[in-house]
Structure 1
């Protein structure tokens, strides 16, 4: 179960942030190619909003849902404007009519300190919890204390931390930079909140250049120590982090060394199904 897949089509929706090699469409055809170097296995996907123009958030859900005959989608994490409670209510009403929506995300990584702790944002997040949806928190590691306070303020909201909080990996030649850092301490603090889980995803995009298994393993070890195997979810972050097969192999081999069979299945499938309340395969919209 890949709990963090992106897809986009620049001919359908507007993505102002795209540049470089990502400035093209990544849809079912491109995903098929990416999966050629992955094990031949029964894989499901949770699509996570790809930051199209804010006014296109519901249209993005409809476009992605239309791909369900080409991509084995199990759920959608949609964009919602949580800074605006009235607009959030309208989005939640629209999402209630779209059964593939299992969670929402409002990117926080570029927002100022305390953005997610403002009264309006907290009020919107309460609505997300009441709707039975989860919230994906995509932040940089310096914002982890805000996520701690956010989780404390909303104990009934299921919060999924994306990409281990985006730690700075540095270069592959650097000494072990993970343990004892402010990121590690903040991640452990966040893990003490039972309503928070963490995605094993996105680290390749945080590396300064090429990355290696040895480079990322210390960060995965700290996440495992903090959250345990029952609160970690595998995500590819494709195509932002790629190639797909290489990251899957890295996580799988790390799990083989660190956890037993039950923990292996939990991280790679079962935790995502539980956290996102996914329907059984074949029970689409």
Structure 2
């Protein structure tokens, strides 16, 4: 089995500046930690997605990840960007374009005011992204999905992907929630646009790290019904979706029962999606590999110019 993890984060407060890291997130998750949490597969690559450094560190984050890419099998970078800043946005995108592993950008919208994604300034920035052949990772909360459908209509050439299925309310394993009619309606509206894709990622984090396959499968079904299997990508959302209550038998479990790192969570999410896809008769290789490479254009010659160094670590490990 080959896997392209389309949603991998890393961070290191000794290298870059972040304002949101606290509790179990306030640890280094970088090269050593990635190597210790490899998937049990024959071939593995990943797309790094910006981890909300401060805006002044967006370029520094790209440089840092590029320095690790060859050893970690990172095939592409989704860089941080603010798309509503006019000429400053254009200048930033031009600088990003000098880094060959950059395949897309993410302006994290989930905490921004409603309506920003359809403002004239943001739409102009989104058109600049599309003009460069890049993708746009959409990180929003479920209530913001109507704005994303409108953005897709305003910039139909923009290849966008919903991170974490648009963050629906999923409940927990003990108190599951069914997909809401509003969320289903809204992802169907987004999916009407042929350049819109959806990541099967992030649901464990939305469940607070307490989840079951039975709880989350209805959301996978709804995404498949809306987007079709050919527009679904798998992502681990590591390490965000690997934080929650300590796993049974964890010798390092906090004595106070607080959330901690779950060392088997990434593999468990992969196994859950594979088992769901196989049970439904879906094309597993498409979801785990081919769709992601097509969406992020990882076989584009511009990106392949960095192919030799980025295959180093996993190539030696798996012979890929």
TM-score normalized with structure 2 length: 0.85
SS at match of 1:99: coil
- Shift in CA distance, 268/53, structure 1 to aligned 2, threshold 3 Å: same
- Shift in CA distance, 172/145, structure 1 to aligned 2, threshold 3 Å: same
Structure with greater Cα Rg: 2
State how far apart, in whole Å, the 2-side matches of 1:122 and 1:137 are. Answer: 14
State how far apart, in whole Å, the 2-side matches of 1:153 and 1:241 are. Answer: 32
| 8 A contact 1:229–1:259 mirrored in 2 | no
| TM-superposition CA deviations, 1:232-267 (whole Å, max 9, x none) | 00000000012211111111111111134xx21111
SS at match of 1:44: strand
Q: Structure 1: any 5+ residue segments left out of the alignment?
A: none
- Shift in CA distance, 69/77, structure 1 to aligned 2, threshold 3 Å: same
Corresponding residue pairs, total: 280
* Equivalence map 1:202-221=2 (5 Å): 202-208=202-208, 210-221=210-221
| TM-superposition CA deviations, 1:71-104 (whole Å, max 9, x none) | 1011000011111021211111111111100000
Give how far 1:209 is off.
5.1
1:171 aligns with 2:191: no
SS at match of 1:74: strand
Partner residue of 2:298 out of 274, 278, 282: 278
| TM-superposition CA deviations, 1:118-150 (whole Å, max 9, x none) | 111111111101111110110000000000000
Aligned to 2:98: 97
Partner residue of 1:24 out of 24, 27, 35: 27
State how far apart, in whole Å, the 1-side matches of 2:156 and 2:117 are. Answer: 15
Q: Structure 2: any 5+ residue segments left out of the alignment?
A: 243-264, 311-320
1:162 aligns with 2:182: no
1:228 aligns with 2:233: no
| 8 A contact 1:176–1:218 mirrored in 2 | no
Aligned to 1:63: 64
Aligned to 1:8: 11
Partner residue of 1:249 out of 271, 276, 280: 271
CA RMSD of aligned residues (A): 1.4
TM-score normalized with structure 1 length: 0.95
Give how far 1:284 is off.
5.2
